[in-house]
Chains A and B, each alone.
Chain A
Amino acid sequence: MSAHLSYGRVNLNILREAARKDLREFLDKCAGSKAIVWDEYLTGPFGLIAQYSLLKEHEVEKMFTLKGGRLPTADVKNIIFFVRPKLELMDIIAENVISADKMHSPRDFHILFVPRRSMLCEQRLKEQGVLGSFINIDEYILDLIPYDSDLLSMESEGAFRECYLESDQTSLYHTAKGLMTLQALYGTIPQIFGKGECARHVANMMLRMKREFAGSQTQILPVFDSLLLLDRNIDLLTPLATQLTYEGLIDEVYGITNGYVKLPPEKFAAQKKQGEAGKDLPTEPKKMQLNSAEELYAEIRDKNFNGVGAALSKKAKIISAAFEERHNAKTVGEIKQFVSQLPHMQAARSSLANHTSIAELIKDITTSEAFFDNLTVEQEFMTGVDTDKVGDTRSYLHYIKLGHNIDSSCVFAHVIPQVNAYIEDCIAQRDPLIKILRLVSMQSVCNNGLKQKVFDYYRREILQTYGYEHMLTLNNLEKTGLLKPQTSTRNNYPTIRKTLKLWMEDANEQNPNDISYVYSGYAPLSIRLAQVLARPGWRSIEEVLKMLPGPHFEERQQLPAGLHKKRQQGENRTTLVFFLGGVTYAEIAALRFLSQMEDGGTEYIIATTKLINGTSWIKSLMDRPEAQTL
């Protein structure tokens, strides 16, 4: 289950093992048989750490989902609540405990807060009069969860909202704590770079914590050479764009949660139930785990979707040829050899079948006119082309070919941005609100705000079409800087775009030579910063860094004597890039691409508060996630 974590540049399985050990210790603290009552949200992240079998070994006999009213009956000595520190969950727990008491069935209650215990929650339990019923109140520090061999996530959905909208820095504290844990396991990271307010905060906290734990220096040879902390709000543009890598598109279309995706079952049913068609067609979505443990997936997930078909067909040839080998197997020895390979071949075959089906599902969407139109408008914004004044984009759209003949130095570059006809059409057609918000925000971000008249126009159209209560959401977007009226005529985006080469002509989707392939032309700003930092260094882009919000900085941490790494000739540096406020799969793909570049010189491990895409991100900023629809 976890072997794939060990194969990367940094063995992240150590972190997973440490987390498992903590879990076992807590369970042993509650002697005797137990039942776990789960805050449902946590089962996903915990699934990345442990299987049920581990819990079972420690006498966990029952597991329930936390809900109001009475606890289900279970003949166990201990009831343990695994919960996030949320007030509303405390009320449910109190209800559970009180009704259990009424049944006169004495059991030991425990709470395990994930990732931190909270004053407020304990106070609430006290108000409800149940605090005294708990034998153990503990916390399970699950800050950074190993997600894949090069990827760590805190799986904290609200982090961006908390940091940039509510100015609540608790998640930054958790980040710093998580990084301290990481350093305890993998050695002190000698260099810390950062850009943005939150990055500065995290670095400060880390340095302070290090001073406090000065006595407990771990004598471990540093695995990481440097840490790069990046605020999400220095690059608001990237998550708004539609990701065009295979994994990115799966996330955009179906949403990946805790490493799993739910897919419509139809495509998978046919192949599974070959020959017995029509027999109880599954109606539940098919759930699949996506990570590098699956060889084929590791190979194709970071490819531009336009290159996935070729890769799959190549793979099909190989597998098919392998199966054909059976004709050549003549001797008993040869047959035996073939048979021994069968399980592996069968796994490869079923993996290929699954991904062919997924690719077909995605293809139906990417080849639709709606997808194309949307992408074209996104690219107009990103390239700085602004074609429409009064006229109509759609006729224009039809002869722009995706990512090819848009010229960034095009004559349109300085036309004053106006109401975009495509967005207007989308509103009129009542397309999903989040789609509208993504596009409008993108227009705003690429133009350093919208002209007041345009801003007011969008606002009115959105409120009239989707409901006045979305005033709250629009205000939130404004506060985070995603959507704003223009205050000055100066727009830095074109300068940033040119200096950092954010738009690349003729991005090669099949055999990429630059990170811009992940968005078919647009190179994510955040990753360009990482790339420039590695070579030639940030000094070359001082001007641009000043245009982005927040300070940029460099700190050094002293290493204990004797732990200085002696680098071999040609050995790559290892950099941990931490995205505060979320990262997209396409950005991850771009970093992996840089890691694999032959003369790159740097390998990247990625950490984040949460894996996001434009939709989940905007959703986290809405005050009513379930928008009213007709």
Chain B
Amino acid sequence: MIRGKPDDDEYWNSSKFKAFTFDDEDDDFTRLKESKRAVNSILVEDEDEEDEVEKVNWSGEPVGSISWSVKETASNIRSTGEVRDLSFPKIDTAPSLPKNSSGYSLSSLFKGKAKTGSLQSFSESFSEQSLRNYAPELRKPKSEYKDYISDWTPEETVKRMQQGKAYSLEKFHFLQDKLLLLDEAVNAHDGNVITAVLIFLKKSLSKEILFRELIAREIALRHYIHYLKEMGEHKHLVELFKSLGRTEDMALMQYRDHLNIKDENRRRDFLKNCLSLPFSQEDATHVLDHYTLLERQIIIEANDKHVESSSQADIFKKYPRKASILNMPIITTLYYSCFYHYGESEGTYSSPANIRKTFRISDKQFLLTCLGARAKLKAWFDVDALFTTKNWLGYTKKRSPIGFHRIVDILHKNNAPVQVLQEYVNLVEDTEQKISLAQKYKCHDVIINTYRDLKDRQLLIGYREKVERSSPEYRKIEELLCNSQIRWKN
């Protein structure tokens, strides 16, 4: 097993690789680290690993697995594969019969399960050849063939369908029989059979009657809806929903189709058409908003593209647009507007004020979005203005619908300088929270002033240890500690 590598002996005999010891009181994750180190220190030849461990190629697929082999064989296609034997007989290749076998086989476990059955109704027309290939059992002896034309009850028919044997639905002439057949299929719970019967009913009954009967049969109805959806028969489906009175479902289903429309103008027109659909009250508002939004985005996009390409505005030169604004959510659009169109008058479609009003954006959302955009541009003056309110005496005050600690987080994420940060840290009301934020973002002044206001000499002394000697902060603390005016509480 061990192949002669020069360092083998050294490995074998040396005690360089010691058993490791753990301090059991350590928390789990320091142990985790140690166990990793320990594991790595046990040097073992790589080749030997392959004996016992499953082979895995690096991309991770285990060698020999199916998904690995698909990639392997596909990449090995020989160019000589083009030469083809043209003489394969096409008609005579009847499927070779399954070998008779003992032991378990899933499909042989159940009696009556036809192995080469066909679900297709035998009354449907086939070309001679496909019939032979596709439903080989039709070539069975005459005696068995006779069976097909005998009168099966709905129950027997359904059973045959389930078993994949040939069957005929055409003989169910009367509505009563057809419905019995449907009920029987539903009882069998086999989706394939139910669908097959429904297709037959769709062909042979008028819509009015079919819909009427389906209303009384919930399960069959669901399968029918599913079938129509799968087949993309939307018109038929809309009629069905209408007759069921399920108008909201119908509206949503039609609205869903906009997802498949790529072209923005066509999508907009499609959404416009959706406006008249019978949505629930809330959904109707959202669809209207969706339409209005896309309509505006198209206008803004065209305009900004033009401005950008003709280099008319500095902002686009400085911060080139990364993606088009089309089909973005409204909050993203607002962000974009606050970024590129800040300060425009409310009259323009692209102005933040207009968007805020049209789409009824909450104060919080507006503030957060605006703040994010202006902070990104390092427009601290704009940021300041967002929070400044004047009372009737003309005094200014900073107010915010969201806690100032959140504002600080956002500003920090956008790399705001300490001067800006500490102004907002100061506005945090809860003292404990203020201190922890100030510590997190190194706003020394805030901390020092707070300790001073708390008259807490001990904390101040403690903090002195944390700042650099001869820094302005250090000096400030020193000054305070020497200040005899302050009445320290400790």
**Given the contacts A25-B105, A106-B90, A134-B133, A166 and B59 also touching, CB distance less than 8 Å:** no
Are B42 and A628 within 8 A (Cβ)? no
**Given the contacts A19-B106, A459-B282, A309 and B29 also touching, CB distance less than 8 Å:** yes
Are A288 and B256 within 8 A (Cβ)? no
Which residues of chain B are near A352, meaning CB under 8 Å?
35, 39
Quick one: CB contact mask for A586-624 with B, threshold 8 Å, 1 for yes?
Answer: 000000000000000000000000000000000000011
- Residues of A92-150 contacting chain B, CB below 8 A: 103-108, 116-120, 122-123, 131-138, 141
Are A137 and B118 within 8 A (Cβ)? yes
Which residues of chain A are near B110, meaning CB under 8 Å?
180, 184, 213, 216
Is residue B302 within 8 Å, beta carbon to beta carbon, of the partner chain? no
The binding surface of chain A is classed by DSSP as helix
- Report the stretch among A316-324, A545-553, A574-582 that lies at the interface: A316-324
Beta-carbon nearest neighbor of B161 in chain A: A119
Are B104 and A17 within 8 A (Cβ)? yes
Which residues of chain A are near B106, meaning CB under 8 Å?
18-19, 21-22, 141, 181
**Given the contacts A288-B60, A320-B19, A466 and B329 also touching, CB distance less than 8 Å:** yes
Q: Report Cα–Cα, A19/B108, bound state, in Å.
A: 11
Is residue B38 within 8 Å, beta carbon to beta carbon, of the partner chain? yes
- Residues of A163-209 contacting chain B, CB below 8 A: 166-170, 172-173, 176, 180-181, 184-185, 201, 204-205, 208
- Residues of B244-276 contacting chain A, CB below 8 A: 252, 255-256, 258-259
- Contact with A173, one of B27, B42, B190 (Cβ below 8 angstroms): B190
Q: Report Cα–Cα, A463/B286, bound state, in Å.
A: 8
Are A52 and B69 within 8 A (Cβ)? yes
Are B111 and A120 within 8 A (Cβ)? no
Are B199 and A119 within 8 A (Cβ)? yes
**Given the contacts A169-B219, A346-B49, A116 and B104 also touching, CB distance less than 8 Å:** no
Which residues of chain B are near A287, meaning CB under 8 Å?
56, 59-62
- Residues of A209-231 contacting chain B, CB below 8 A: 212-213, 215-216, 218
Is residue B107 within 8 Å, beta carbon to beta carbon, of the partner chain? yes
Is residue A404 within 8 Å, beta carbon to beta carbon, of the partner chain? no
Beta-carbon nearest neighbor of B39 in chain A: A353
- Contact with A623, one of B19, B31, B105, B259 (Cβ below 8 angstroms): B259
Beta-carbon nearest neighbor of B271 in chain A: A468
Are B77 and A74 within 8 A (Cβ)? yes
- Report the stretch among A278-286, A519-527, A534-542 that lies at the interface: A278-286
- Residues of A258-301 contacting chain B, CB below 8 A: 260, 262, 271, 274, 282, 284-289
Quick one: CB contact mask for A225-267 with B, threshold 8 Å, 1 for yes?
Answer: 0000000000000000000000000000000000010100000
Q: Report Cα–Cα, A29/B105, bound state, in Å.
A: 15
Are A630 and B189 within 8 A (Cβ)? no
Q: State which size class the interface on B falls in.
A: 35 or more
Are A122 and B120 within 8 A (Cβ)? yes
Beta-carbon nearest neighbor of A424 in chain B: B364
- Residues of A1-45 contacting chain B, CB below 8 A: 1, 14, 17-19, 21-22, 25, 28-31, 38, 43-44
Is residue A310 within 8 Å, beta carbon to beta carbon, of the partner chain? yes
Is residue A372 within 8 Å, beta carbon to beta carbon, of the partner chain? no
- Report the stretch among B226-234, B310-318, B442-450 that lies at the interface: B226-234
**Closest beta carbon of chain B to A69's beta carbon, Å:** 14
**Given the contacts A73-B82, A456-B282, A356 and B56 also touching, CB distance less than 8 Å:** no
Which residues of chain A are near B139, meaning CB under 8 Å?
none
Quick one: CB contact mask for B302-338 with A, threshold 8 Å, 1 for yes?
Answer: 0000000000000000000000000111111001000
Is residue B348 within 8 Å, beta carbon to beta carbon, of the partner chain? no
Are B1 and A342 within 8 A (Cβ)? yes
Q: Report Cα–Cα, A310/B230, bound state, in Å.
A: 52
- Contact with A119, one of B96, B195, B365 (Cβ below 8 angstroms): B195
- Chain A residues with CB under 8 Å of chain B are 1, 14, 17-19, 21-22, 25, 28-31, 38, 43-44, 46-47, 50-53, 55, 61-65, 72-75, 77, 87, 103-108, 116-120, 122-123, 131-138, 141, 166-170, 172-173, 176, 180-181, 184-185, 201, 204-205, 208, 212-213, 215-216, 218, 260, 262, 271, 274, 282, 284-289, 306-310, 312-313, 315-317, 319-321, 323-324, 326-327, 339, 342-344, 346-347, 349-350, 352-353, 356-357, 359-360, 363, 367, 392, 394-395, 424-425, 428, 430, 456, 459, 461, 463-469, 471-472, 475, 623-624, 628, 630
17 extra interface residue pairs, beta carbon distance < 8 Å, beyond A47-B67, A173-B189, A468-B330 = A25-B105, A28-B98, A29-B98, A75-B84, A119-B199, A132-B129, A134-B134, A167-B219, A208-B187, A282-B59, A309-B29, A320-B42, A323-B17, A343-B52, A350-B49, A425-B406, A630-B335
6 pairs, A vs B, C-beta closer than 8 Å? A64-B74, A313-B35, A315-B35, A346-B49, A349-B39, A471-B255
